[in-house]
Chains A and B, each alone.
Chain A
Amino acid sequence: MIQLKNLSKIYARGKAAVTVLSDVSFSVKNGNLALILGKSGSGKTTLLNCIGGLDLPQKGSVNCFGIRVDKLSGRKRNNFRRKQLGFVFQSGNLITSLSARRNIEFPLILNKYASAQIQDRVAFLLNRLDLEDVADAMPSSLSRGQAQRVAFARGVAHGPGLLLADEPTASLDTRTGLELIRLMHALSKEEKITMIVATHDKEIIPFADLILHLSDGRIKGENE
């Protein structure tokens, strides 16, 4: 279970204080897909950053699978991200010097998986996400859709409990975006990975178990 209570985040911009998140509270059941819908600047990315421990809230709590992420030390937060989290960013953000296969391997090696396990898992993901033909291609030669699929494979390779995706379809055309979401949804259900997706892409709505409408840093609506 992912549980956020009264989460607030305020940034100092010069002398002014900008409230980015204000009293955000919600819960996501394990294995569910939660969609955070909102316009640019509504606080979606900051919310994901706080959940993933990339940023710390000034107020409130973030509880992931019984762990108070906001209370963890820097080292423990790193460890939490390494083991429990996967990220998919807007434009893939693959490591450009590593091939698609090496990008997917990376979190597995980081988490000290045995080489046989790494090979099996990478082979499975390449096959499942239809990336076998481009396994050894460098990110620069991948299409945007392929790059996002590699990024998703990298995000779930080590079997995290939670996958955070920030505008995963923003750089894709509708058809490719929809295809990606379908794959992400199917695989996360199979592997019981909780997904929180920040987006303004309404095409994703049918796949969501929970929809949160974020506006000016506040949850304005919640639909199951």
Chain B
Amino acid sequence: MNFSLWLRTAVAFLVVNRRTTFILCFLISVAIGTLVFIISLANGISDIMITNSTGMYSGQISGGNLPSRISPEDLKKPFVTAVLQRFRLPATLIRQDRERPLDLVAIYPDQEKAHSFFYKKVIAGRFLLKGQKEILLNLETAERIGSQPGDTIIGQIGDHQYELKVAGIFQTGVDSLDRALAFCPVFEGLILPETWQAAIFLKAGTDLSSAMREFSRSGLKMDGLKPWTQSMPDLTQLLELNDICVNILVFIVLGVVSLGCAGSFAIFVVSRIKEYGVLRAMGVTGLETGILICLQVVLMNVIASAVGVLAGMLAVWSVGRAGIDLSVWTSHNRYFAATALIFPRLSIGAAGIPPAVLLGFCFIAAAWPVWLVASQKTCDIISKG
């Protein structure tokens, strides 16, 4: 088979029918460009949901009940930006005749402020200060015990009682934080438990699975480390749902575009069917005719896809400079609790999936015109064409 002959002929067919070629290419490019942008936008939305959910408090990897023999320094790997140490203390908060049992979490406020968004969720008063005997209450608890910033309350932790000044009240929108937790700084005299919790923040672009593998290889024998994908199954599901929706969209849009292209291309082939008949009369086989038609479809799609991907990349780049602020629509959504500024992110999938899917569809689209030519006798094509 003389592939270069068919390639040259396919190019010539497309060039001579440049108006039809241009219209079909334009249609495909617009669809591809739009899908590249939409997938990048979906990537950006997923990124911001992960950032909001992990950056708020837990980090990308959270550790529970870590023994005191392991220090935060032990967990500081090259791919880690910060390890926040926290101590969970079962406590009862007492104010006048009101009591509220909850978990009091002792933290290092300066480190929390440097690496998590949690401090941004203070709705009254202020965030905690390093080493101070003070407390940050969740809104529900503050209402239950009737406390305001500036009040002093008693924190009963085991057999010990501490006088704690209410520094502020927080509300994150995350149920697990808003209902049963209060925070205080690690201060002098506070009796800390044997175990601690870790919030591990990773450098941007670190692969979560490799990070987990690295921790398990470190020989520290930590059973309590969990990636966010395990500790936040709801978020994992949402992201999967996001992916499924985008993939369905890709298939539907490209399916419709391919159907349109198949129709247009079939008309394109039918209008010149006599030429295919002449080729067959010259001894060109059905397979070679099919290859010629498929090459035209593939060439057109490859060129249009390249243009579409470039256009999509350009759109991602231009929108990505300022981001898209969705805060109006996400103000009551905990997955956007800290920020709703979306930065579309181009990925290999975003740039690769639409052209790959379209290539698959374009072969299906080529089948119709190929069948139109192959199903008729050469002499009929020539006489009717």
> Of A87, A96, A109, which contacts B272 at CB under 8 A?
A96
- Which residues of chain B have C-beta atoms less than 8 A from A112's C-beta? 2
In the complex, are the beta carbons of B17 and A95 less than 8 A apart?
A: no
In the complex, are the beta carbons of B283 and A79 less than 8 A apart?
A: yes
In the complex, are the beta carbons of A97 and B17 less than 8 A apart?
A: yes
In the complex, are the beta carbons of B13 and A97 less than 8 A apart?
A: yes
- Which residues of chain B have C-beta atoms less than 8 A from A49's C-beta? 379
> Of B5, B12, B16, B377, which contacts A110 at CB under 8 A?
B5
- Which residues of chain B have C-beta atoms less than 8 A from A80's C-beta? 283
- Which residues of chain A have C-beta atoms less than 8 A from B281's C-beta? 52, 54, 81, 87
In the complex, are the beta carbons of B282 and A97 less than 8 A apart?
A: no
- Which residues of chain B have C-beta atoms less than 8 A from A95's C-beta? 9, 12, 275, 278-279
Q: Is B383 an interface residue (CB 8 A)?
A: yes
- Which residues of chain B have C-beta atoms less than 8 A from A54's C-beta? 280-281, 377-379, 382
In the complex, are the beta carbons of A45 and B12 less than 8 A apart?
A: no
- Which residues of chain A have C-beta atoms less than 8 A from B161's C-beta? none
- Count chain A residues whose beta carbon lies closer than 8 angstroms to a beta carbon of B: 29
A75 to B285, CA, bound (A): 7
Q: Is A213 an interface residue (CB 8 A)?
A: no
Question: Given A54-B378, A109-B5, A112-B2 in contact, is the A93-B282 Cβ separation under 8 Å?
Answer: no
Q: Is A152 an interface residue (CB 8 A)?
A: no
A223 to B280, CA, bound (A): 33
Which residues between 1 and 18 of chain B lie within 8 Å of chain A, taking CB atoms? 2, 5, 9, 12-13, 15-17
Chain A 10-22 against B: per-residue CB contact (8 Å), 1 yes, 0 no?
0000000000000
- Which residues of chain B have C-beta atoms less than 8 A from A82's C-beta? 282-284
In the complex, are the beta carbons of B285 and A78 less than 8 A apart?
A: yes
- Which residues of chain A have C-beta atoms less than 8 A from B15's C-beta? 97
In the complex, are the beta carbons of A107 and B282 less than 8 A apart?
A: yes
Q: Is A144 an interface residue (CB 8 A)?
A: no
A82 to B307, CA, bound (A): 39
The distance from the CB of B267 to the nearest CB of chain A, in whole angstroms, is: 16
Q: Is B165 an interface residue (CB 8 A)?
A: no
A140 to B279, CA, bound (A): 18
In the complex, are the beta carbons of B282 and A87 less than 8 A apart?
A: yes
Question: Given A54-B379, A55-B379, A89-B278 in contact, is the A97-B16 Cβ separation under 8 Å?
Answer: yes
Q: Is B86 an interface residue (CB 8 A)?
A: no
The distance from the CB of A82 to the nearest CB of chain B, in whole angstroms, is: 3
In the complex, are the beta carbons of B9 and A93 less than 8 A apart?
A: no
Which one of B9, B275, B280, B281 has the highest number of Cβ atoms from chain A below 10 Å of its Cβ? B281
Chain A's closest residue to B10 (CB) is A97
In the complex, are the beta carbons of B275 and A93 less than 8 A apart?
A: yes
- Which residues of chain B have C-beta atoms less than 8 A from A107's C-beta? 282-283
Chain B 256-297 against A: per-residue CB contact (8 Å), 1 yes, 0 no?
000000000000000010110011111111000000000000
Q: Is A59 an interface residue (CB 8 A)?
A: no
In the complex, are the beta carbons of A85 and B278 less than 8 A apart?
A: no
- Which residues of chain B have C-beta atoms less than 8 A from A79's C-beta? 283
Q: Is A181 an interface residue (CB 8 A)?
A: no
The distance from the CB of B281 to the nearest CB of chain A, in whole angstroms, is: 5
The distance from the CB of A147 to the nearest CB of chain B, in whole angstroms, is: 13
Chain B 354-385 against A: per-residue CB contact (8 Å), 1 yes, 0 no?
00000000000000000000000111001100
Jot down 5 A-B pairs with beta carbons below 8 A, ordered by A. Answer: A46-B379, A54-B378, A54-B382, A107-B283, A110-B283
18 additional contacts (CB under 8 A) given A54-B382, A87-B282, A96-B16: A45-B379, A52-B281, A54-B378, A54-B379, A75-B285, A78-B280, A78-B283, A78-B284, A79-B283, A87-B278, A93-B274, A93-B275, A93-B382, A95-B9, A97-B16, A97-B17, A106-B5, A110-B5
The 4 closest A-B pairs by CB, nearest first: A82-B283, A97-B16, A81-B283, A97-B12
